[in-house]
Structure 1
Amino acid sequence: MRARRLTGSLTCLVVLSLTAAGCGLSGGGGSGDGEATAGSCKVDAGNVGSGKLTGDVKGGITFQTTNLKKDFGGFFKGVIDAFEKKYPGTSVKWIDDPGDAKFSERNVANAQACDLPDVINLNKVTATALTKAGYLLDLDKKDPGAGKPFVPAFWDSSTLKDSKGSDIHSVLPWYTGGVNLTYNTEMLEKAGIDPKKPPTTIFGLFEDYEKIAKSAKGKYYATMANPIWRIPADWQQMDIKVYSDDGKSFVFADDPRTTEWVAWMKRLYQGGAMPKDSLSSSDDPSTPYSNGQVAYGSTNPSFVRFVKQNSPSVYDRTGVGQYPFDKLGHTSGAPQYIGVASTSENAATALAFAKFLTNAENQTAWCKDPNVVIFPTTTASLEDPFFTEVTGDDPFGEARKVVAEQLKTATADEVVLSDPQRNAIVAEVQLAMQGKKSPEDAVKDAQEKADELLKQGS
């Protein structure tokens, strides 16, 4: 059930970077009578403007996920069957996007063609583009109570800017990951580090890396060198401002702690805390940690299960702790989202399905699937014994508990860099780590190059 495309002067061009330039939307009212426009499409007037969305939950809709059908076909089929049983007369057609590098471009093009799926699984980059162009329902207007099931901090921070630059809720936060420290307790103890007292700041963690290097004497290392895994995540935890308030320029070089961070990375790299050949390697710490080559593993909680399956002896020496909150004071998640197309011809049904899919019952059920390590975004789900009750000292269970606890106060304020911007910044940091450029010059040049890319829309 899709909207009709407008022709002539109303057709918009979408420019992709972190946002899309769109025609916005016009028309209004919640009655569902008459027509309006959303982006470049004619839509039911009830889908846009002011007033709650009305209409019967009936008819067919299309639901699109991102690379989930192969592994979770049974789960989603069950959700769809339950929804269709709850709402007789509805039907849900499920399609699955491969989630490749062309994901944003493809879905914005579908939106322009008035062919966006009624309910769609989105990352933040694509959701930002579609929201600015007016292709997703404004939930603050169409369903003011939509945020009640979700963790308050997560919901409050899950806003995106519309065509006027206003912050609105256009998506429902769905599943998310988390971060934790995973470490070899034996290696930490040899360095005089108490595994039960993880550091609370990024620089405190760097100090522990240095202790590992001095203790290991080249037999093993603290972590991997490539800064791509830490930018901008470390800066965000340190509450370093990355973008200007209007989002039109980078400002991370204005904070002296950014230069201090780069200086620390140089010190650690040249001091033996990181393997020299890992500076430009795309490998994360998963395999080296499992092989006993580094003291700290991946921050992804699913990594702990990887160690359990692939290296039982290292798993027995694995500890789990909270990743440093630092000055941010909490973690910032990067959830997947569910949006409802403002171009949907059955918007009431689409919104009902989106809320059904993301409710506490279905989020909890999926997170318990043994084939996935994800975390829910609803308050009730995080209170389930599956997350709160951990017996014994099992690292995998402890990782689940640590992340579930942090998500009670986490936000969705994810700092997003385009791949070209991130690569430009990382390249400058790598030069500093090699001693080919001072940390001060590297940070200054990184900002200038990232700014130029931002102006180009890259």
Structure 2
Amino acid sequence: MRARRLTRTLTCIAALSLAAAGCGLSGGSGGGDATAGGCEVDQGNVGSGKLSGDVKGTITFQTTNLKKDFGDYFNGVISAFEKAHPGAKVKWIDDPGDATFTQRLVADAQGCTLPDVVNINVNTAVALTKNGYLLDLDKKAPDAGEPFVPALWKSSLYADAKGTKVHSVLPWYSGGIVQTFNDDLLRKAGLDPAKPPTTVLGLFEDAEKVAKASDGKYYAFLANPQLRIPADWQQMGIRILSADGKTFTFADDPKTAQWVEAMTRLYKNGGMPRDSLSSTQDPANVYGQGKLVYGPTNPNFLRFIQQNNPTVYKKTGVARFMLDDLGHTVGAPQYIGVASTSKNAATALAFAQFLTDAKNQLEWAKDPNVVIFPSTTASLDDPFFQSVEGDDPFARARKIVASDRKTATADEIALTPGELNAISAQIQLAMQGKKSAEDALKEAQSKANELIEQGS
């Protein structure tokens, strides 16, 4: 199972910019005696051997759209680091995280001005690692993975220029995933909230009971398959992509057809709103109106319901997400990378490790204005997560997700918008009875593979 695939924008940038001869390969600033990503750097930043040097000098730290809400937290972390290392100075910048974020960061990398410590998502980590712009932590900091949840660290590997999987980023915060449901509506359908499904197809079996009992007054969940793929398939253990990530293979597994058939039956039997097949409406809003049995899976959704629909919130149950055939959940975290082009790489690495250590991650997770979960074992073992007071939906979710994070991996697969649309369109035809599940999936796979070949 490979990590999340590149988006259309990033694919084009990586193929046409980073890999092009002469793009950012003609040297850089500084009088280094080696190269990283085509930029001149100090020999100690690359090659074998641990990174060494004094923790001093000025570094730039870039986050993504965090300064407005969490300025006090990050300023506190920076002040603590600078106090511990009087010769070091951290300059904090915050990118708005808009649609051109990746392009700007890639341009910085090509110009040999990538921030010393940078907050990135998995897609950006893939591109920067492939082109040598991030420190190889396996060589430069071989003990870097010790604080982190083993499954998460083990799966946070990305290919370098030679195709070798390396650790080039430190896992940071992530969301979580849980089952949420309206207890009252479940009981009306003859289901026991204390016995949630443990498989995806088991969820559909329960949803069929909802369809029979509801008589169109409420529904199991929305019909648009884009809300469920490829997450359902991944939990079912379906191989969505070939090992090299260059070919879709989901139609080759009989379980995928079973999933489409289950979606079709539920849609036909009234378990989903008829007008939601291709709708982009937010399921959180529909759930908040008391019209859906099953709510979104992000714990942050519970805060939304609590604030906007407190009556429905009180009726909301929470359970562990279906582990199904996969045996664990997946979800790519936010990452912290250290630029291999940094002029003060020892300082940058020290700050990155300080920022992501158990103490600082736990402090941020306790902020009542954010719903995040840390990536270190010690943070997740803290009483804040393990001895949760209260039995309200969010309290239950926090404890469930904290336990889940100890086995979750970063092997999440994401489809490009074009691939998602192409696959969903065929599944929608099957749900309308216009194609068999097998024919729809065969065509969906063919169209999706065409998009891969076109670099979508």
TM-score by length of 2: 0.93
Equivalent position of 1:283 in the other structure: 281
Equivalent position of 1:324 in the other structure: 322
Q: What secondary structure sits across from 2:14 in the alignment?
A: coil
Structure 2: distance between partners of 1:284 and 1:403: 23
Equivalent position of 1:127 in the other structure: 125
Structure 2: distance between partners of 1:17 and 1:446: 25
Contact 2:37/2:132 (CA < 8 Å) preserved in 1?
yes
1:240 alignment partner, one of 238, 241, 247: 238
Equivalent position of 1:5 in the other structure: none
Aligned amino acid, residue 427 of structure 1? A
Contact 1:14/1:20 (CA < 8 Å) preserved in 2?
no
Structure 2: distance between partners of 1:18 and 1:266: 41
Distance 1:106 1:428, change over 3 A: farther
Contact 1:134/1:162 (CA < 8 Å) preserved in 2?
yes
Equivalent position of 2:259 in the other structure: 261
1:220 and 2:218 equivalent? yes
- Residue 25 of structure 1 and its aligned partner are, at CA, apart by 12
Structure 2: distance between partners of 1:216 and 1:145: 55
Equivalent position of 2:76 in the other structure: 78
The higher-RCO structure (CA 8 Å, 6+ apart) is 2
Alignment of 1:11-410 (within 5 A): 15-16=13-14, 21=19, 35-410=33-408
- Residue 34 of structure 1 and its aligned partner are, at CA, apart by 5.3
Aligned amino acid, residue 442 of structure 1? A
Structure 1: distance between partners of 2:117 and 2:219: 46
Equivalent position of 2:7 in the other structure: none
Show CA shifts across 1:165-188 (max 9, x none): 111000000001111011011111
Show CA shifts across 1:16-36 (max 9, x none): 37996478999xxxxxx9511
- Residue 211 of structure 1 and its aligned partner are, at CA, apart by 0.8
Aligned amino acid, residue 91 of structure 2? K
Aligned amino acid, residue 246 of structure 1? D
- Residue 101 of structure 1 and its aligned partner are, at CA, apart by 2.3
- Residue 292 of structure 1 and its aligned partner are, at CA, apart by 0.3
- Residue 247 of structure 1 and its aligned partner are, at CA, apart by 1.5
Equivalent position of 1:6 in the other structure: none
Distance 1:69 1:257, change over 3 A: same
Distance 1:370 1:58, change over 3 A: same
- Residue 283 of structure 1 and its aligned partner are, at CA, apart by 2.5
Aligned amino acid, residue 177 of structure 1? G
Moved >3 Å (runs of 4+) = 13-26
Structure 1: distance between partners of 2:365 and 2:388: 16
Structure 2: distance between partners of 1:20 and 1:153: 31
TM-score by length of 1: 0.93
Contact 2:18/2:110 (CA < 8 Å) preserved in 1?
no
Contact 1:19/1:132 (CA < 8 Å) preserved in 2?
no
Q: Give 5+ residue unaligned stretches, structure 2.
A: 1-10, 26-30
Contact 2:430/2:436 (CA < 8 Å) preserved in 1?
yes
Aligned length, in residue pairs: 441
Distance 1:19 1:421, change over 3 A: farther
Show CA shifts across 1:328-363 (max 9, x none): 001112200000011111111110110011000010
- Residue 456 of structure 1 and its aligned partner are, at CA, apart by 1.6
Show CA shifts across 1:268-323 (max 9, x none): 11211111111222223211111101111110011112111111211121110011
Structure 2: distance between partners of 1:408 and 1:201: 20
Contact 2:236/2:324 (CA < 8 Å) preserved in 1?
yes
- Residue 152 of structure 1 and its aligned partner are, at CA, apart by 0.7
Q: Give 5+ residue unaligned stretches, structure 1.
A: 1-12, 27-32
Contact 2:24/2:39 (CA < 8 Å) preserved in 1?
no
Identity %: 65
Show CA shifts across 1:107-149 (max 9, x none): 1122111111111111111100100011100000000000000
Structure 2: distance between partners of 1:428 and 1:386: 45
Structure 1: distance between partners of 2:15 and 2:119: 19
Aligned amino acid, residue 366 of structure 2? K
Aligned amino acid, residue 148 of structure 2? F
Stretch of structure 1 that moved more, 211-220 or 277-286? 277-286
Structure 1: distance between partners of 2:113 and 2:313: 48
Structure 2: distance between partners of 1:388 and 1:19: 47
Q: How much is the aligned-residue C-alpha RMSD, in angstroms?
A: 2.1
Contact 1:285/1:296 (CA < 8 Å) preserved in 2?
no
Structure 1: distance between partners of 2:115 and 2:214: 54
Distance 1:163 1:305, change over 3 A: same
- Residue 105 of structure 1 and its aligned partner are, at CA, apart by 2.4
Structure 2: distance between partners of 1:428 and 1:109: 37
Structure 1: distance between partners of 2:306 and 2:148: 32
